Amino acid sequence: MASYDLIVVGGGPAGYVGAIRAGQLGKKVACVEKERAGGTCLNWGCIPTKSLLRNAELFHLMKHRAAEFGFSFDNLSYDWTKIIKRSRDVADKNAAGIEYLFKKNKIDYIKGEASLDKAGVVTVKGADGKTQKLEAPKILLSTGVVARPMPGLPFNGKTVISSREAMVIEKQPKSIIIIGAGAIGVEFAYFFNAFGTKVTIVEMLPNILPVEDTEVSQTLEKAFAKQGIEVLTGTKVVKTEASDKGVKITVEGKKNETLEAEVCLVAIGVQPLLPGGAQVKLTDRGYIQIDERYQTSISGVYGAGDIIGPPWLAHVASYEAIQAVEGMFMDHKPKKVINFPGCTYCNPQVASVGLTERAAKEKGLKFKVGKFPFMASGKARAIGEVEGFVKLIIGEPHGEILGAHIIGPEATEMIAELGLAITLEATHEEIEATIHAHPTLSEAIHEATGQAFGTAIHI
């Protein structure tokens, strides 16, 4: 039986990061992954979808706005197979990078399906059916989540698909119904629509991206409508029918009708992918329950990442894994996630951190709102991306940033400044006193801060 200081079960953003951090601390580590290093995020989520979205962004720009930039095309076309292949190539290269990092940090990378026999012992079953046992005083479970099917509409991989099938779909569908308007549903809606697929989004809640600030969600909905995406919010699915030829989805809400499409993408959420073997205590929603040190109900067995529950974000998973590992092997009190950025990579992009205006009101907090539209930004006009705004929720009387919300160009990059501001408990005065380069999109943050107190110059 091979012995280690730490066995990590799962090689996604929690697992591989936790393994590498333990390796940096000089520990003997094994990381067991059923499919491929990098997990869902790198192979079937965050990374390959951004490749697809980049293709969509470029094609949409050239097809609909080329004349604005002085370009013209006689026969603009695209190769769907190459678009999908580029996405897979990007994922492959990144996965190879993780495997290199394992070697660099002397981590044993073991491919197979792991089960937790008992505290300290893991059995791994390889693709050839052979098994091996590993032992370690510390085990980190980071097996993640999988797409949740819709009751009565099981995935069939052809006409009813999850995000995994959506990103490798061999033939572009002429029409698609997307059930669920969270980040996954919204991103795929933008992608397919950009290439001419007829897209209909069905969302039960009042707004798309329902976790975001209401004003941001409404702005994105208007942008999608202009792009030709049909958005049905406040609408529930009451009947479904799927065949080899397509789907029929009956809805009630804004419209009471039966929608038909070649494909239905179900993006209503995720469910935990629990490891086999010894049973750890679960939450009422089926996720692994942990204590303040990320330890499960079994001594020496820890959990991090999506498997311990929301938010289901790669960067949160990595943070949790590092906290868990440092808590195991260092004189360190692990921290739990409080503030984290959320990003959606459609166009316009959406990014946020901290409280929404809605949440601040529900908490009874006193605050001011600072808002600056990209239409008033010189850089945004120069690059031809004037849709959206920066919105800040500023606490009173101390002026701390309670929340930040951006919809518009490079929102997912710009949000980092505001995450740092919240972490450092920066006040609006400190942000306003910080010189922002001109012309940049980030000037909108500076201006939004000033707008809350009547000192903004360009609005």
**18 neighbors 107 (Cβ within 8 angstroms):** no
Residue 23 phi/psi, 5-degree rounding, is: -60, -40
Residue 27 phi/psi, 5-degree rounding, is: -90, 150
Query: How many residues does the structure list for the chain?
Result: 459
Residue numbers in the known binding site are 50, 180-187, 203, 269, 306
Residue numbers in the known binding site for FAD are 50, 306
The encoded tokens of residue 98 equal 């993780």
Q: From 287, 276, 328, 294, select the one nearest 122 (Cα to Cα).
A: 276
Residue numbers in the known binding site for NAD(+) are 180-187, 203, 269
The encoded tokens of residue 123 equal 């059995």
Give start and end residues of each alpha helix (H) in 330-404.
357-362, 378-383
**271 neighbors 286 (Cβ within 8 angstroms):** yes
438 is catalytic: yes
**Residue 184 zone, left/alpha/beta (φ > 0; ψ -120 to 50; rest):** alpha
The encoded tokens of residue 161 equal 């698909």
DSSP-based three-state secondary structure for 92: helix
Q: In what order do the strands lie in the sheet with 107-111?
A: 107-111, 29-33, 6-9, 138-141, 301-303
Find where tokens 């061999």 sit.
170
Q: Give dist(CA 350, CA 342) in Å, integer.
A: 8
Helix axes 46-65, 183-194, angle to 10 degrees: 40
| 151 DSSP 8-state letter | T
Q: Please identify which of the residues 64, 315, 438, 458 carries the catalytic annotation.
A: 438
The encoded tokens of residue 260 equal 């038909």
Angle ∠(67,71,73) on CA atoms, nearest 5: 100
The identity of residue 438, as a single letter, is H
Query: Which sequence positions are flagged as catalytic?
Result: 438
